[in-house]
Amino acid sequence: MKITRVKLTRLCRPLEPAFAAAWDPVSRSMFEATLVTVETDEGVCGYGSGDTMDGFENFDHLFVGKDPLRILHHVRTLETITFHAGKYWPLEAALWDIVGKVTEQPVALHFGGALERIPAYASFGELKDPAAYVETVLGAMEHGFKAVKIRMARDRIEQGVQAVAAIREAAGEDIDIMVDLNQMWRTSGDIAPALDLMSVRQVACRLRELGVLWLEEPLAPTDIVGARMVRAQTGMRIAGGEMVRSLAELAQLVDQDAFDIYQPDVVLSVGLHRTRFIAELAQLHNRFFTPHTWSNGLGLLANLHVVAGVGGGPYIEFPYDPPGWTPARRDFFLADTLDIESDGCLAVPSCPGLGAVVDFDAIAYYEV
């Protein structure tokens, strides 16, 4: 089998202005999606998405004419490109989609097949005041979620802690709450200093008292010593690593015991195959792997297959923040919208490949 073409389709997703304003400054990935279609001479097509693929046109000759099933060959090629240009991991997702279709198995089986479904947490995007957060969380619980993650602005810490306290009071003990300070995930141009160690220690203590499951990216990306100190001194679990750009850096983070929870996004960080290595390394050290998934439904599917395959968890991130960010808006170019089941779990599609059904009418409508 040979790759005959790698086709990129650039799409602009529908987004309510109010939601976009709440993400000020907004990431491009909130508005845009690129669908990668890998075509083969045997008629099998693979689909992937998640990163912008800007500039990939200069490198597609490295893949056309090659056997799509030689995954590690392609992973190594993509790593050499990442050194010089962009991260093109959605292409690897599309290749795995082909592997699954050719072998007539879900991709998760190729990653170990440890789980067929996994609990999902509702991951909110908007920054809200405490009362609005309570309403959002209660709505998510009604939908079936048993866990939620809220964002906390570093210049509005007090309001964030109050929001967690209000959520805990309204929702009780039957829900896991996570908090993201986004000190490593930065929008382009955000060069404001990260919170200092003392401030982080103080907020971690307060969140620990409120029973928060993990605190995400509370410090600057270089402050591994600080992350370890906060964990040891407060008993608060620390999560991070969602956008680390190389396998070596991720492996070093695990080796240094930087976090309790490792979160590389398979389509935005180091790809599917390399993430399996990191996930198993983290598990070997008795730490958690649960990926970041904020791109679109196809990106979420790629992460779902890997985390279920390796038996990660305890949850998978499920971007969900109605009315601005709904599964339909997130998965706007898929015919089947992903959603949780009534017990709060997300099931791995049992069909061959990643299980995405592309809506070609939507593609035609939203293509730019």
Query: Where along the sequence are the contacts to Mg ion (CB under 5 A)?
Result: 180, 216
The radius of gyration of the chain's CA atoms, rounded to the nearest angstrom, is 20
Contact 94, 107 (CB under 8 A): no
Please state the closest distance from residue 123 (CB atom) to Mg ion, in A: 8
Contact 37, 60 (CB under 8 A): no
Please state the closest distance from residue 216 (CB atom) to Mg ion, in A: 5
Q: Which is nearer to Mg ion, 176 or 216 (CB)?
A: 216
Q: Which is nearer to Mg ion, 39 or 180 (CB)?
A: 180
Structure tokens at 136: 């959002």
Name beta bridge partners: 14: none
Quick one: which of 293, 301, 290 has its CA closest to 337? 301
Please state the closest distance from residue 185 (CB atom) to Mg ion, in A: 5
Q: Which is nearer to Mg ion, 51 or 216 (CB)?
A: 216
Q: Which is nearer to Mg ion, 22 or 44 (CB)?
A: 22
DSSP per-residue letters across 255-276? HTT--SEE---TTTSS-HHHHH
Please state the closest distance from residue 41 (CB atom) to Mg ion, in A: 40
Q: Which is nearer to Mg ion, 106 or 240 (CB)?
A: 240
Please state the closest distance from residue 2 (CB atom) to Mg ion, in A: 39
Helix/strand/coil for 12? strand
Contact 6, 53 (CB under 8 A): no
Q: Which is nearer to Mg ion, 216 or 223 (CB)?
A: 216
159 Cβ contact partners less than 8 Å away, ≥ 6 residues apart: 129, 130, 153
Taking the C-alpha atoms of residue 238 and residue 214, their distance in angstroms, rounded to an integer, is 6
Residue recorded with tokens 């979160």: 263
Q: Which is nearer to Mg ion, 40 or 263 (CB)?
A: 263
Taking the C-alpha atoms of residue 198 and residue 334, their distance in angstroms, rounded to an integer, is 45
Q: Which is nearer to Mg ion, 107 or 238 (CB)?
A: 238
Pairing of strands 288-289, 45-48: unpaired
Assign residue 172 a region (left: φ > 0; alpha: ψ between -120 and 50; beta: otherwise).
Answer: left
Please state the closest distance from residue 299 (CB atom) to Mg ion, in A: 14
Residue with the CB atom nearest Mg ion in the bound state: 180
Please state the closest distance from residue 172 (CB atom) to Mg ion, in A: 25
Please state the closest distance from residue 317 (CB atom) to Mg ion, in A: 8
